[in-house]
Chains A and B, each alone.
Chain A
Amino acid sequence: DTGVSQNPRHKITKRGQNVTFRCDPISEHNRLYWYRQTLGQGPEFLTYFQNEAQLEKSRLLSDRFSAERPKGSFSTLEIQRTEQGDSAMYLCASSPGGGPNSPLHFGNGTRLTVT
Chain B
Amino acid sequence: AQSVTQLGSHVSVSEGALVLLRCNYSSSVPPYLFWYVQYPNQGLQLLLKYTTGATLVKGINGFEAEFKKSETSFHLTKPSAHMSDAAEYFCAVSDPDTGRRALTFGSGTRLQVQP
**A interface list, Cβ under 8 A from B:** 4, 31, 33, 40-45, 48, 50, 55-56, 58, 91, 93, 95, 99-101, 103-109
Contacts and interface: CB of A to CB of B under 8 A. Distances in A.
22 contacts: A4-B43, A40-B107, A42-B108, A43-B44, A43-B103, A44-B105, A58-B102, A93-B44, A99-B96, A100-B95, A100-B99, A100-B101, A101-B32, A101-B94, A103-B34, A103-B49, A104-B103, A105-B46, A106-B36, A107-B43, A108-B41, A109-B42
A95 B34 CA distance: 14
Given A42-B90, A99-B96, A103-B49, A109 B102 contact: no
Given A99-B96, A101-B49, A101-B51, 10 more contacts: A31-B101, A33-B101, A42-B90, A42-B107, A56-B100, A56-B101, A101-B32, A103-B46, A104-B44, A104-B103
B104 interface: yes
Interface residues of B, number: 28
Interface string B31-59: 01010100001111110010100000000
Contacts of B36: 106
Nearest to B110: A40
B80 interface: no
